[in-house]
């Protein structure tokens, strides 16, 4: 299919998905989410592809939800469109975790909101020292989406996950490496070379082994995702209709601190 918000290409067993909305810091809107899901499915169906690499155009990997779209939806009282995005980003993380191919995410710059949780869904994250992961949801009165708490609590523990979500504090690349979210951390100028070295090493292995390992990981750790994702969407939908969310979005657009009232 033709893509307009992402780039997708296949070369010698490697599919590359590039987030390509740098003008809005690669924020997720409905078309972008749908195109990402289509590219993941295309990867799954292509027997010639063994690996999926996800990267981004521009200096920011992704701010997560498209803040311009959020402001439009709040102003026009079109909250259902934002609920749809919450559903789609969970679908993306879910699809990445179940994809019978190795998923490698390459990050350089801020990785916020849903994008930060998609990174946890990847099999390998290779990051530059400029990377920072941010659970930005609390700043606009929301809870983590894209399977955030489900993934993070398994990756770094429930306490660390809840603290990051509640404070919205940025997780440095160095700390993310210590926590095990990042596989390799390098200077920006060494990022591409490092990715190629890791791909070269992985390509020597058997995709049959990788598929089996991913299936075993899913069975041992992630079988409860279906019920979790229903609850995540229910809570996110409820929060999206609250006044605190609208205040958070307007405050961000006006570059001021939000005043939440628990309404």
In this predicted structure, the answer to whether residue 247 has a pLDDT above a threshold of 90 is: no
* Residue 251 pLDDT: 83
What one-character-per-residue DSSP string does the chain give?
Answer: ---SSEEEEEETTEEEEEE--GGGTT-B-HHHHHHHHHHHHHHHH-TT--EEEEEESSS-SB-SB-HHHHHHHHHTT-HHHHHHHHHHHHHHHHHHHH-SSEEEEEE-SEEETHHHHHHHHSSEEEEETT-EEE-GGGGGT----TTHHHHHHHHH-HHHHHHHHHH--EEEHHHHHHHTS-SEEE-GGGHHHHHHHHHHHHHTS-HHHHHHHHHHHIIIIITTHHHHHHHHHHHHHHHHTSHHHHHHHHHHHTTS-------
* Residue 71 pLDDT: 86
Q: Residue 90 in contact with residue 145, Cβ under 8 Å? A: yes
* Residue 42 pLDDT: 97
Integer Cα distance of 239 and 219 in angstroms: 31
Mean pLDDT of 143-170: 95
In this predicted structure, the answer to whether residue 45 has a pLDDT above a threshold of 80 is: yes
Contacts of 89 (CB under 8 A, 6+ apart): 28, 33, 65, 114, 117, 118, 145, 146
Integer Cα distance of 89 and 67 in angstroms: 15
How deeply is 131 buried, as exposed, middle or buried, from its count of CB atoms within 10 A (0-12, 13-18, 19+)? buried
- Count Cβ atoms below 10 Å from residue 86 Cβ, excluding itself: 24
Mention the CATH class of domain 1-188+207-263. alpha beta
Question: Looking at 88-97, 128-137, 160-169, 239-248, which range is the least confident one?
Answer: 239-248
Q: Which two tokens stand for residue 187?
A: 């200077």
Contacts of 208 (CB under 8 A, 6+ apart): none
Mean pLDDT of 160-173: 95
* Residue 255 pLDDT: 85
Integer Cα distance of 245 and 251 in angstroms: 10
């Amino acid at each position: 299919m033709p893509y307009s918000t992402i780039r997708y290409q296949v070369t010698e067993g490697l599919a590359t998905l590039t987030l390509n909305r740098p003008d809005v810091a690669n924020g997720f809107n409905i078309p972008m989410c749908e195109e990402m899901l289509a590219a993941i499915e295309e990867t799954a169906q292509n027997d010639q592809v063994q690996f999926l690499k996800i990267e981004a155009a521009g200096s920011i990997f992704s701010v997560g939800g498209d803040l311009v779209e959020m402001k439009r939806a709040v102003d026009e009282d079109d909250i259902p469109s934002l609920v749809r995005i919450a559903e789609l980003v969970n679908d993306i993380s879910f699809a990445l975790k179940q994809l019978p191919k190795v998923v490698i995410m390459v990050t350089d710059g801020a990785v916020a909101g849903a994008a930060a949780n998609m990174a946890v869904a990847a099999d390998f994250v290779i990051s530059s020292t400029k990377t920072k992961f941010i659970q930005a949801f609390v700043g606009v009165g929301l809870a983590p989406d894209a399977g955030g708490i489900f993934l993070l609590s398994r990756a770094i523990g429930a306490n660390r996950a809840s603290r990051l979500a509640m404070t919205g504090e940025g997780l440095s690349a160095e700390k993310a490496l210590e926590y095990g979210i990042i596989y390799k951390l390098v200077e920006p100028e060494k990022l591409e070379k490092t990715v190629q070295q890791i791909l070269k090493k992985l390509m020597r292995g058997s995709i049959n082994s990788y598929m089996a390992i991913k299936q075993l990981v899913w069975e041992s750790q992630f079988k409860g995702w279906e019920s979790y994702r229903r609850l995540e969407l229910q809570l996110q939908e409820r929060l999206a209709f609250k006044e605190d969310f609208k205040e958070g979005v307007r405050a961000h657009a006006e570059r001021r601190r939000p005043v939440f009232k628990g309404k």
